[in-house]
Each structure stands twice: as C-alpha cells, then as structure tokens.
A = this chain, B = another copy of it.
Amino acid sequence: MLLPLCVVAEQLKSPNGNLTMTFKVNNGFPYYSLDFKGKAVIKDSRIGLEIKNDSGLMDGFVLKDSKTSTFDETWTPVWGETKTIRNYYNELAVTLAQPQHNNRYIIVRFRLYDDGLGFRYEFPKQDHLNYFVIKEEHSQFAMAGDHKAFWLPGDYDTEEYSTMTSKLSEIRGLMKSAVTENVSQKVFSPTGVQTALQMKTDDGLYINLHEAALKDYPCMSLNLDDSKMIFESWLTPDAQGSKGYMQTPCTSPWRTIIVSDDARVMLSSNLILNLNDPCKYTDTSWIKPMKYVGVWWAMITGMNTWSYTNATSIKLGQFDYSKAVPSGTHGATTENVKKYIDFAAAHHIPGVLVEGWNVGWEDWFGNSKEDVFDFVTPYPDFHVDELHRYAAERGVELIMHHETSASVRNYERHMDAAYKFMADNGYHAVKSGYVGNIIPRGEYHYGQWMVNHFLYCVTKAADYHIMVNAHEAVRPTGLCRTYPNLIGNEAARGTEYEAMGGNNTDHTTILPFTRLQGGPMDYTPGIFDTKLTFLDAIGRKDHSFVHSTLVRQLALYVTMYSPLQMAADLPENYNKHLDAFKFIEDVPVDWDDSRYLEAEPGDYITVARKGKGTDDWYVGNTSDENGHSSVLKLDFLDKYKKYEATLYCDAPNAHFRDNPGAYVITTKKVNSRTVLKLKAAPGGGFAISIKAVK
C-alpha cells in the first residue's frame, strides 16, 4: 500500500497513555482522530472554518510547525465539588499555514487529558489575518458507530427540552416528537442537537461532546450527517446569518470530548473547568455559596401571580400603580415575603428570592416590548426598606430578581442603576431571566451578541460584588472558573417544568452527564408536595406533578451539584415534613471532596460529598422509573473516625407516581468499613448525612 506523500501526522498520548490523539494534514485538509484504549472514539475528522467573502480556513494547509508540551498544576476553585483540581494534560499545538494566502496561519491546540480531549482554533495577529467573519465552523466529530445518545433538539433560543434517548440513527425520525407544542422551540435542522451531548457506545464507552470557555463567539450546536455518523459544529447565527465577528489575536472556544469506559469518570471530570482560564478576580471573599427559599413556586404553579394588577398594558413611569386595583393574587407582598424570611431564619437558609417584586409584570411577555422593566421600582405592596431591615435582623438576605423579558438593550441601560440599587439595599445575588425573543430583534439567545451580553452582566456584577444566577442564558461552558460569581445557570428544563407537564422520570439521572458538564444548574429542587395537592385546595385539579419521590428531592441537593441551591417548595409544605427538611437544612452547598459511587446515564447516579471544612459526608442517589438497589461501601470515610448517619429512604412501597411521599428516616452509627444496602423506589432515591462524631 502506498501512502500519499502529502500526509503529515503527529501523535499525542494522554498522561496515563489510555488516550491517543492523531493529527494529520492530508492533501491540505487537517484531520484529527481519538482512540481510547485502542478503541476509536473519534474517527478521522476534518477541522476548519468557512469565512465570509474569503476562500476560508478549510483547506490548502501545510503543517508549518508543531509543538508538544506537558502541563501539570493543581488549583483551588473558589467553590466546587472538590477542594483542589488537578489540571494535567499533554499538549500538541500545530501551526497550519496557507501558502496560497501569503502564508497566513492558524494554530490548532490540542490538550489531551486522561479523561478526554480539548481542542481549539487560535488566530494569531498577523498581516494577512486580522478582521474576519465566520460563515461556519466545520469541526467534525466522526463517531465510530451508531451510539446511544441523550440528546436535545438543536435550537438557537432554548435548551428547555426533555432529553431524548435514542440511537444516533433514530434522531431524524424522532425530531418532530422531541419538540413540544405551544412552546417557543424551533429546531435548526432535522438532525441538529445541542451540547453537552452524552453518548454511550455498544461496547461500553461513554463519550461526551461539548465546549469550554465560550466567550465572544457563538454557541456551538452539532449537526449529524446520519449517513456517516459524523457530527459537525453548527454555530448560532446573528440577525444577518453571520456566525462570528473576529479580530486577531483571538481563539475559538475549546471543543471538548470527554471519554471513559466508566460512567463515574464522566461525572467527576474537570476537563471543561480546566480548559477555562484561572479566576480573573483577586478578591473573591464576597462570593459565597448559599441555599435559599423564595416567592416563586407559588407563581410557577399558578397559585399566585408575578403581577400586581390585572391591567393589560403598562407604560413604565406613566401607569399609576398607586391608583391601580390590585388583583389580589400578587405573590411578592411584604407580608408574604416575611413568611419566607421567618422560615429561612428558622432553618438557617441564608437567602430569600422574591420574584414579581418590581413593576411591569402585567404585560412583560410576548409583546416584544422594549421598555418592559426598570429593575428598581417596587410594586406598592412590596416594601424594600422594611424587608431589608426585617431580613437583616434575622440574619437573612433577599435575593434580587431581574427578569429582562430578553429586552437586552433595556437591561443594559438600567444595569448600573439596578446593581447599585442592589448594593444599596442589601442584595448580593441576582437571578436574571431572558424569557422570550431577544431584543435586538433577530438576535438569538446563543449568538455571539448574547454570549457577549451574558458575560458582560457577570463582570459588571462583579464590580458591585454581586453573584449572578442567569436563567434562559447560554448553556455554561466552565466560565465559572474564571468568573466564580457566575454562581448558577438554568439552561435546561428545571423543576419548574414539573408544574408544566412534568419532567421525564430519568431527567435527573441524565442532567449531570449533560447540562452540568459546563457548570452548576439552579435546578430548584426540594418539592415535598410532589403531587401539588395545595392546588387541589384552590380548585385546580388538572395540574401536573413532580416525577420524583420526596426522598429523591432531598438527594438532588447532593446529586445536582450547585453552590446555589433552592428549597423550592412552599414553607407550609415543608412545615408538614420538618424531619425530612432537616436534610436540606444540613446539606452543604460547597465541598472538599466528591466521590461518584455509581452512575449510569438515564438510570441512576449515586454520589458522596464531603462538606467544605468539615468531616461530614452527604450521599445522594437519584434513580429512574425502575428504581435502583445500591450496595454502598463507605470506604471514603476517614478510617480513624466514627460517624453517625441519618438515612432518608423511600419507604418500601414508595413510588414517584402513586406514593411519592412515603419515606423512612433512620439513624445509624457507621465507619469506613460499613456497607449499606439501600433501595431507591421507582423515581426515587436516597439521601444520607454522615456526621463525624466528635
């Protein structure tokens, strides 16, 4: 056999040798491939970019230079799943030049970890490559088979889809059914999917495709050529269809491929965080993980409203709320908020979120209304000063809410005043929202314009020592390492959907493999009245329910890692189960260690975590509709210490559909040699607190 003369190849091994990345230039086209223990993860895949009004950065390349290096550093996150994180990789940086374009060149940088590969395009400053506009990025990910995939339809504006589980070859046929009617979902292609995309091969490999460090670049989705099983990058366009305005020197985000034959490794991977830049802030003392309750579930379920009146059209500054007739359903009243403050204070919950406190909610949605909120004017029945004082006296602080209605110019115009209002009134965290179509009209939630905006909010908030929890923002890509005041994101179907039709029962066994790869999610767990019986009382019988047992709601505080965790149910529902609520009260939101004990996407996840600065451990399991039996060795405990465990378990007859509220709480002395046999009910789980005996 004759190899073509023009093939040039470079190989790179992961530190432990399990992964091999091969890069080559063949007839001017650059390719890479990836093997794990001799199995193909990514077959020969082309890389390159199509440029507007230019022949592009796709072909005609020669390998001008290549450099390998090794990096090994252990860093300490401001908050996280573990106290320290090791960033250990071998790197290959190839310089690709185009002789026919005055030798303009790009660098493709590959970083190979033991748990996967990251690569990105780098565009150094040079005379013949300065400003350019990306027409499309063509990074391929050629799959070696028709894998099982956990996928969401590709969409420029929303990630709030139920995860589809199917073979890659089935995506096209299932696409239509994957889209929910009556929701603003719009797929961009019959085989387009979002990242993070989790797959499993027939021979037991887990593969995850995503991106890291998405800054000043459009968010990437993937389009599948299902005749060849090749994924290709598909960037989010702007209002004119362009996909990225670039000025050298600049880079693309990292394209990430996490791979292992052990599902638990997928969950403990720090590859995406490691590919992000170190923290940009010198002082991070003001960034504090926290739990919170809030005036929210009552609105999501329809018991209360965000709006104060039944008016149908408001012009801020012109509508006189003081003379308006209240609807009587407003949730964010001073009186009601005080109940939440009281509950939070009684149970050591530091934060109280209040949505619907500010004027403008009467017609905020669906009108492409630009001047929709001002973020500083409270409704007449919400007393900012009084609530600030009341909360502060009880050691609690309010969490701000900025729904923008996706009216982004309006938000940016008010941002300084809004953040200053927060600083003046004792708010240190904001939940922001971007529901609806983006203004400037024609832009998408995941385009470069909005990617830029979301980070602008975070860095500007940092100036005011404000933490940001952005909903309907672009899916996270590990930026929380660099900007750790980005303390939360939604970017997937959260608990709110349990009140709007429900989530799949296996939803929380998938999210840590997909959505959470890029950063924590404000999933808002903790619904105790999973059947929403409080709605029956007000005559609403047709509502949906939470596809989970009560115990699994506890477990989510451990399985869904987040430095910001809501206890989302109504205080009156918690007051009926204060024994179970004790777990929420106890569970930390920041950790020194995390051990993924069992995991299979779509089936179950069991994780043990050690509370930050303590000797206490917390274990959580979430299971799908089949339930799960666990045999847990507590060998992660200090073998010289004794512990008392409190086990929050589904009752033997518990079931997410028929008997979700049946739980058993037991206590038990345990040590590092203890083996626990536990059973999660269908749609159930378990939660354990293991406190060191002093």
CB-based nearest B residue for A456: B413
Would you call A440 an interface residue if the criterion is a C-beta within 8 Å of the partner chain's C-beta atoms?
Answer: yes
Interface 9-residue window, one of A327-335, A367-375, A499-507: A367-375
Copy tally for this chain in the complex stands at 2
With A131-B313, A412-B412, A413-B456 known as contacts, the answer to whether A367 contacts B247 (CB < 8 A) is: yes
Would you call A284 an interface residue if the criterion is a C-beta within 8 Å of the partner chain's C-beta atoms?
Answer: no
Return chain B residues, CB-CB under 8 Å to A369: 131, 245, 247
Whole-angstrom distance from the CB of A370 to the nearest CB of chain B? Answer: 7
Q: How far is the CA of A249 from the CA of B319 in the complex (A)?
A: 11
Whole-angstrom distance from the CB of A309 to the nearest CB of chain B? Answer: 15
Interface 9-residue window, one of A162-170, A234-242, A266-274, A609-617: A234-242
Return chain B residues, CB-CB under 8 Å to A239: 239-240, 440-442
Q: How far is the CA of A242 from the CA of B441 in the complex (A)?
A: 9
Would you call A416 an interface residue if the criterion is a C-beta within 8 Å of the partner chain's C-beta atoms?
Answer: yes
Return chain B residues, CB-CB under 8 Å to A242: 441
Of residues 422 through 457 on chain A, the ones whose CB sits less than 8 Å from some CB of chain B are: 440-443, 449, 452, 456
Whole-angstrom distance from the CB of A53 to the nearest CB of chain B? Answer: 12
Whole-angstrom distance from the CB of A7 to the nearest CB of chain B? Answer: 35
Q: How far is the CA of A363 from the CA of B130 in the complex (A)?
A: 11
Of residues 218 through 256 on chain A, the ones whose CB sits less than 8 Å from some CB of chain B are: 238-240, 242, 245, 247-249
CB-based nearest B residue for A318: B249
Would you call A312 an interface residue if the criterion is a C-beta within 8 Å of the partner chain's C-beta atoms?
Answer: yes
With A240-B441, A441-B238 known as contacts, the answer to whether A367 contacts B456 (CB < 8 A) is: no
Would you call A338 an interface residue if the criterion is a C-beta within 8 Å of the partner chain's C-beta atoms?
Answer: no
Return chain B residues, CB-CB under 8 Å to A240: 239, 441-442
Would you call A83 an interface residue if the criterion is a C-beta within 8 Å of the partner chain's C-beta atoms?
Answer: no
A247 near B443 with CB under 8 A, answer: no
Whole-angstrom distance from the CB of A461 to the nearest CB of chain B? Answer: 14
With A369-B247, A413-B456, A449-B440 known as contacts, the answer to whether A125 contacts B313 (CB < 8 A) is: yes
Q: How far is the CA of A449 from the CA of B370 in the complex (A)?
A: 10
Q: How far is the CA of A323 from the CA of B148 in the complex (A)?
A: 56
Please classify the interface of chain A as helix (H, G, I), strand (E, B), loop, or mixed, using the class held by over half of its residues.
loop
CB-based nearest B residue for A126: B313
Q: How far is the CA of A130 from the CA of B245 in the complex (A)?
A: 38
Of residues 282 through 298 on chain A, the ones whose CB sits less than 8 Å from some CB of chain B are: none
Return chain B residues, CB-CB under 8 Å to A363: 130-131
Would you call A541 an interface residue if the criterion is a C-beta within 8 Å of the partner chain's C-beta atoms?
Answer: no
Q: Mark A92-130, 1 if CB is under 8 A from B, else 0.
A: 000000000000000000000000000000000101001
Interface size on A, residues (CB 8 A): 32
Q: How far is the CA of A278 from the CA of B367 in the complex (A)?
A: 31
B441 near A315 with CB under 8 A, answer: no
Would you call A409 an interface residue if the criterion is a C-beta within 8 Å of the partner chain's C-beta atoms?
Answer: yes
With A245-B368, A245-B370, A368-B245 known as contacts, the answer to whether A130 contacts B312 (CB < 8 A) is: yes
Q: Mark A51-85, 1 if CB is under 8 A from B, else 0.
A: 00000000000000000000000000000000000
Q: How far is the CA of A312 from the CA of B130 in the complex (A)?
A: 9
Q: How far is the CA of A67 from the CA of B238 in the complex (A)?
A: 48
Q: How far is the CA of A26 from the CA of B449 in the complex (A)?
A: 49
Whole-angstrom distance from the CB of A410 to the nearest CB of chain B? Answer: 10
Q: Mark A385-424, 1 if CB is under 8 A from B, else 0.
A: 0000000000000000000000001001100100000000
Q: Mark A129-152, 1 if CB is under 8 A from B, else 0.
A: 011010000000000000000000
Q: Which of B313, B442, B456 contacts A238 (CB 8 A)?
A: B442
Return chain B residues, CB-CB under 8 Å to A412: 409, 412-413
CB-based nearest B residue for A448: B370
Q: Which of B131, B313, B368, B443 contacts A130 (CB 8 A)?
A: B313
Which among A130, A368, A409, A441 has the greatest number of chain B C-beta atoms within 10 A? Answer: A441
Q: How far is the CA of A456 from the CA of B409 in the complex (A)?
A: 12
Return chain B residues, CB-CB under 8 Å to A367: 131, 247
Q: Which of B247, B315, B368, B409 contacts A409 (CB 8 A)?
A: B409
Q: Mark A25-65, 1 if CB is under 8 A from B, else 0.
A: 00000000000000000000000000000000000000000
With A413-B456, A440-B449 known as contacts, the answer to whether A247 contacts B313 (CB < 8 A) is: yes
Return chain B residues, CB-CB under 8 Å to A442: 238-240, 440, 442
CB-based nearest B residue for A242: B441
Return chain B residues, CB-CB under 8 Å to A413: 412, 456
Whole-angstrom distance from the CB of A183 to the nearest CB of chain B? Answer: 19
Return chain B residues, CB-CB under 8 Å to A131: 313, 363, 367-369
A247 near B315 with CB under 8 A, answer: yes
CB-based nearest B residue for A442: B239
Q: How far is the CA of A483 from the CA of B282 in the complex (A)?
A: 44
Q: How far is the CA of A125 from the CA of B313 in the complex (A)?
A: 8
With A440-B443, A441-B238 known as contacts, the answer to whether A248 contacts B313 (CB < 8 A) is: yes
Q: How far is the CA of A440 from the CA of B240 in the complex (A)?
A: 10
Q: Mark A181-194, 1 if CB is under 8 A from B, else 0.
A: 00000000000000
Q: How far is the CA of A54 from the CA of B363 in the complex (A)?
A: 20
CB-based nearest B residue for A443: B440
CB-based nearest B residue for A441: B240
CB-based nearest B residue for A449: B440
Whole-angstrom distance from the CB of A235 to the nearest CB of chain B? Answer: 15
Of residues 527 through 550 on chain A, the ones whose CB sits less than 8 Å from some CB of chain B are: none
4 nearest A-B residue pairs (beta carbon): A440-B440, A239-B442, A239-B239, A131-B367
Given A242-B441, A245-B369, 19 more pairs with CB closer than 8 A: A127-B312, A130-B313, A131-B363, A131-B367, A133-B368, A239-B440, A239-B441, A239-B442, A240-B441, A240-B442, A245-B370, A247-B313, A247-B315, A247-B367, A370-B452, A409-B409, A440-B440, A440-B442, A440-B449
A-B contact pairs, 15 of them (CB 8 A): A130-B312, A130-B313, A131-B313, A133-B368, A240-B442, A245-B368, A245-B369, A245-B370, A247-B369, A370-B452, A412-B412, A413-B456, A416-B416, A440-B449, A442-B442
